[in-house]
């Protein structure tokens, strides 16, 4: 039977990660996959997560099944993290969340539920977006329609073109938005732009599907949640996929959640049951470990304070690497302006280099960057910044 299968290429981001691991050069630099690295180039387990793991060793009394929706305390605490403890949506009965295997698992469960609710709905996706959004959400049956998001020349959101396109979205379609720290551009919607999109959603009747995978890595936990919180206030329906991969450093633990806001409490119960039925059909139950850690951290005053302090360190380190890189490579033979890197948010920005330059960086200098020229600023550190800047300047000659 398998003779009919054609070879399939490796995912571009994960393929680059594998190629980097095989490179034996001591000077190699990984600016590819979106994983945080500290100033020594390591991706350590956060100290607050380590402490929660130690507590869990003592507290955990069973490995029995948890249930399709995962850990109820985790679900509750994630809602408070996303919306802030006092948000009125939390007591409305119109909101339900279930734990999911990472942000990707959450996105897929959400997509499958939406497909069940409205089989013909199209998904409008900003260009560019995280490349895996297309197979992940398209694979659930969505027809994908693109809307312009980022202007490669101005390094800004193409606001007019984006709003013009969103004005064409028919009632009932879904619009994918990045909650914060846009992947791959780092160009985030301003609060005013969020408000304008909410106005349009109300006017046109489309429903935002927000992917929020970097809360806390942009401007702060509350600041990064502006769009999610405001839309929950104003819109009758909303779907939010969230992840603890980046802000808790729990990548391999696959810790995420899918949240639905519905028009009525009755609908919320039905949607949650549908989401659990989708999950049962695909993977039955989400993995427990990461969610139990998050729940312990968010539920304990001291652990939470420690985690927030670590997250602040992550955020400020990335911000300082943004400034350092932009300043170092601003003077270049090609006359390219890199100042946008300083203003953008989260892990990523585009360098704007072409394929030949990116190939040269990888082959000659051992610097790994995905083909869109998206760089993970967290891969930069005080030991590699000079070598990196010199290498970029040299391929720009
Ligand atoms: C990224 O964009 O690099 C991360 O979200 C990791 C991934 O799965 O692609």
| Those residues with Cβ within 8 angstroms of residue 250's Cβ, 6 or more apart along the chain or in another chain | 49, 244, 290, 293, 294
Q: Answer yes or no: are the C-beta atoms of 344 and 186 closer than 8 Å.
A: yes
pLDDT tens column, 159-199: 999 999 999 999 999 999 999 999 999 999 999 999 999 99
How many angstroms separate the alpha carbon of residue 125 from the centre of ligand 1?
Answer: 17
pLDDT reading at 20 higher than 90: yes
State residue 42's pLDDT score.
95
Best CA proximity match to 234, nearest among 351, 332, 94: 94
Q: Whose CA is nearest to atom 1 of ligand 1?
A: 34
Q: How confident is the model at residue 75 (pLDDT cuts 50, 70, 90)?
A: very high
Q: How confident is the model at residue 102 (pLDDT cuts 50, 70, 90)?
A: very high
Taken in order 283, 257, 378, 48, the sign of the CA dihedral is negative
**Quick one: which atom of ligand 1 is closest to the CA of 11?**
9
pLDDT reading at 316 higher than 90: yes
Q: How confident is the model at residue 274 (pLDDT cuts 50, 70, 90)?
A: very high
State residue 10's pLDDT score.
87
**What's the rounded mean pLDDT across residues 291-317?**
98
**What's the rounded mean pLDDT across residues 384-393?**
97
Best CA proximity match to 368, nearest among 379, 352, 356, 378: 379
Q: How confident is the model at residue 238 (pLDDT cuts 50, 70, 90)?
A: very high
Residue positions annotated with a catalytic role: 130, 211, 246
Which of 7-21, 290-304, 317-331, 340-354 comes out lowest in average pLDDT? 7-21
Q: For the chain, list the domains and their CATH numbers.
A: 2-46+303-395 (3.90.1150.10), 65-299 (3.40.640.10)
The vertex-75 CA angle with 74 and 78, nearest 5°, equals 80
How many angstroms separate the alpha carbon of residue 32 from the centre of ligand 1?
Answer: 9
| Alpha helices (H) along the chain | 12-22, 47-59, 72-83, 102-117, 133-138, 159-166, 191-204, 226-234, 265-282, 289-299, 301-329, 340-343, 355-365, 385-395
How many angstroms separate the alpha carbon of residue 97 from the centre of ligand 1?
Answer: 23
| Those residues with Cβ within 8 angstroms of residue 305's Cβ, 6 or more apart along the chain or in another chain | none
Residue 82, helix vs strand vs coil: helix
**What's the rounded mean pLDDT across residues 38-56?**
97
**What's the rounded mean pLDDT across residues 336-360?**
96
Q: How confident is the model at residue 365 (pLDDT cuts 50, 70, 90)?
A: very high
State residue 213's pLDDT score.
98
pLDDT tens column, 117-165: 999 899 999 999 999 999 999 999 999 999 999 999 999 999 999 999 9
**What's the rounded mean pLDDT across residues 57-72?**
96
State residue 87's pLDDT score.
97
Q: Answer yes or no: are the C-beta atoms of 247 and 311 closer than 8 Å.
A: yes
How many angstroms separate the alpha carbon of residue 33 from the centre of ligand 1?
Answer: 5
Q: Answer yes or no: are the C-beta atoms of 347 and 214 closer than 8 Å.
A: yes
Q: How confident is the model at residue 319 (pLDDT cuts 50, 70, 90)?
A: very high
Indicate the top mutation candidate among 11, 12, 13 to test ligand 1's pocket, ranked by most ligand atoms within 8 A of CB: 13
**Quick one: which atom of ligand 1 is closest to the CA of 245?**
5
Which of 8-22, 117-131, 143-157, 218-232 comes out lowest in average pLDDT? 8-22
- The Cα-based distances of 133 to 54, 113, 121, 179, 342 in angstroms read 35, 16, 16, 14, 26
Residues with CB under 6 A from ligand 1: 13, 33-34, 130, 132, 183
């Amino acid at each position: 039977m398998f003779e009919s299968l054609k070879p399939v290429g490796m995912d571009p981001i994960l393929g680059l990660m594998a190629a980097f691991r095989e490179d034996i050069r001591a000077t190699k630099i990984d600016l590819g996959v979106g994983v945080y690295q500290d100033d020594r180039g390591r991706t350590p387990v956060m100290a607050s997560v380590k402490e929660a793991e130690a507590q869990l060793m003592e507290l955990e009394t069973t490995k029995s099944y948890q249930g399709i929706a995962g850990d109820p305390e985790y679900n509750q605490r994630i809602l408070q993290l996303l919306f802030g403890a006092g948000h009125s949506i939390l007591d409305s009965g119109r909101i339900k969340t279930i734990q999911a295997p990472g942000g990707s698992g959450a996105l897929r469960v959400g997509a499958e539920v939406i497909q069940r609710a409205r089989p013909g709905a199209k998904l409008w996706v900003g260009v560019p977006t995280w490349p895996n959004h297309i197979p992940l959400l398209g694979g659930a049956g969505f027809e994908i329609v693109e809307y312009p998001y980022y202007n490669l020349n101005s390094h800004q959101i193409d606001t007019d073109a984006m709003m013009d396109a969103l004005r064409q979205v028919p009632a009932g379609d879904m619009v994918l938005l990045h909650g914060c720290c846009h992947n791959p551009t780092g160009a985030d919607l301003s609060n005013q732009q969020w408000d304008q999109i909410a106005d349009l959603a109300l006017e046109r009747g489309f429903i935002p599907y927000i992917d929020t995978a970097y809360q806390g890595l942009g401007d702060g936990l509350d600041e990064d949640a502006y769009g999610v919180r405001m839309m929950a206030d104003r819109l009758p329906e909303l779907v939010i996929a969230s992840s603890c991969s980046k802000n808790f450093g729990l990548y391999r633990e696959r810790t995420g959640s899918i949240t639905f806001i519905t028009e009525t409490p009755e609908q919320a119960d039905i949607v949650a049951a549908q989401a659990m039925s989708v999950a049962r059909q695909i993977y039955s139950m989400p993995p427990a470990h990461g969610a139990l850690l998050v729940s312990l951290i968010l539920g304990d005053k001291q652990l939470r304070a420690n985690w927030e302090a670590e997250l602040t360190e992550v955020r400020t380190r990335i911000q300082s690497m943004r400034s350092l890189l932009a300043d170092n490579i601003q003077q270049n033979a090609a006359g390219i302006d890199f100042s946008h890197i300083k203003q953008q948010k989260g892990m990523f920005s585009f360098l704007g280099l072409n394929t030949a330059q990116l190939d040269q960086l990888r082959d000659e200098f051992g610097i790994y960057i995905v083909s869109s020229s998206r760089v993970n600023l967290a891969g930069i550190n005080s030991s590699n910044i000079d070598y990196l800047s010199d290498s970029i300047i040299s391929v720009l000659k």
